[in-house]
C-alpha cells in the first residue's frame, strides 16, 4: 500500500466515525440503580471518599455543608475508618436516558440516619457519573418503599404555549447531544448556606416536581 493511499483510507475512516450518529441510550432506571449499588459497594470495600472520587464527574458539586467542587475537595480527604451506607428508594430518568436522579436513605456507622439525593449523568462512554450529591441528617429515616421504584419521563412533547419543554438545541460538535429537558434539576443556595434541591419530570402535559429537598442554614 502506498503512503498516499494509506492516508486516504485513514481520513475516510475518520470521516465515517465523525458521521456516525450520537450514541443512544435506553431510559433504563435499573442501570441507575445498579450504579448506586456499585457506588455503595465501592465505598464499603475501598473507602467512602475513594468511591466518591472514582464515580464523580469533573464538574460534580457537593455540600460539606457549603457547596464545593467535588474533585477539588475530595482529593484532600482521607477515607474514614468506616463508610456511610445508603440505599436508593426511587430513581427518575430522562426520556433520552442521559440524566437521572436518585433519592433514598443513608446510615452512618454511629447509627445516625438521613436522606440523600444524587443527580447522575452519562459520560461520553455511557458510564453514569454523579454531578450533584446532597442530603441531610434526619431524626428518623424517611419511609422507604418495599421495592425500588424507577420512573421514566415521557418523551411526548406538548405545545410550547402549553408549557411543554422546548425543542433541544443543536448538539455541540465536540460533545454529546444536549439534554432533552424531560428531567430538570436545580440547586438553589442562599448566602447563609441554606439550600433547596428540586427535580422536575415532564409528564407530557407539564412538569411534575418529584423531589423537593430543603436544608437549613449551614452551621458555622
Query: What confidence tens digit (pLDDT) does each residue in 78-109 have?
Result: 999 999 999 999 999 999 999 999 999 999 99
**Parallel, antiparallel, or unpaired: how do β-strands 128-138 and 56-63 relate?**
parallel
Domains of the chain with bracketed CATH? 23-215 (3.10.450.50)
Which is nearest to 211 in space by CA: 142, 130, 129, 157? 142
Euclidean distance between CA atoms 27 and 59, whole angstroms:
23
**Which residues are 208's β-sheet partners?**
201
When pLDDT is cut at 50, 70 and 90, the band that residue 10 belongs to is very low
Euclidean distance between CA atoms 121 and 11, whole angstroms:
32
When pLDDT is cut at 50, 70 and 90, the band that residue 179 belongs to is low
When pLDDT is cut at 50, 70 and 90, the band that residue 169 belongs to is very low
Euclidean distance between CA atoms 58 and 55, whole angstroms:
10
When pLDDT is cut at 50, 70 and 90, the band that residue 204 belongs to is confident
Contact by Cβ (8 Å): 180, 124: no
Considering only residues 7 and 120, tell me which one the structure prediction assigns the higher pLDDT.
120
Q: What is the pTM of this model?
A: 0.81
Residue 155's pLDDT is what? 85
- The residue assigned the cell 467535588 is 70
Query: What confidence tens digit (pLDDT) does each residue in 104-141 have?
Result: 999 999 999 999 999 999 999 999 999 999 999 999 99
Euclidean distance between CA atoms 106 and 51, whole angstroms:
15
Would you put residue 97 in left (φ > 0), alpha (ψ -120 to 50) or beta? left
Residue 180's pLDDT is what? 78
3-state helix, strand, coil in the chain (%, to 5): 25, 35, 40
Amino acid at each position: 500500500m502506498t503512503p498516499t493511499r494509506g492516508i486516504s483510507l485513514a481520513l475516510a475512516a475518520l470521516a465515517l466515525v465523525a458521521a456516525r450518529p450520537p450514541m443512544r441510550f435506553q431510559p433504563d432506571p435499573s442501570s441507575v440503580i445498579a450504579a448506586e449499588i456499585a457506588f455503595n459497594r465501592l465505598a464499603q470495600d475501598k473507602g467512602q471518599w475513594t468511591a466518591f472520587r472514582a464515580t464523580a464527574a469533573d464538574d460534580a458539586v457537593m455540600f460539606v455543608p457549603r457547596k464545593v467542587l467535588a474533585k477539588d475537595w475530595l482529593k484532600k480527604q482521607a477515607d474514614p475508618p468506616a463508610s456511610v451506607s445508603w440505599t436508593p428508594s426511587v430513581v427518575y430518568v430522562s426520556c433520552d436516558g442521559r440524566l437521572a436522579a436518585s433519592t433514598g436513605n443513608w446510615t452512618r456507622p454511629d447509627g445516625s440516619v438521613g436522606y440523600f439525593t444524587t443527580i447522575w449523568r452519562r459520560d461520553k462512554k455511557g458510564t453514569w457519573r454523579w454531578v450533584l450529591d446532597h442530603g441531610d441528617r434526619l431524626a428518623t429515616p424517611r419511609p422507604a418503599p418495599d421495592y425500588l421504584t424507577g420512573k421514566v419521563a415521557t418523551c411526548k412533547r406538548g405545545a410550547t404555549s402549553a408549557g411543554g419543554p422546548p425543542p433541544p438545541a443543536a448538539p455541540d460538535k465536540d460533545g454529546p447531544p444536549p439534554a432533552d429537558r424531560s428531567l430538570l434539576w436545580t440547586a438553589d443556595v442562599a448566602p447563609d448556606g441554606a439550600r433547596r434541591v428540586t427535580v422536575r419530570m415532564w409528564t407530557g402535559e407539564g412538569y411534575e416536581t418529584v423531589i423537593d429537598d430543603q436544608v437549613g442554614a449551614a452551621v458555622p
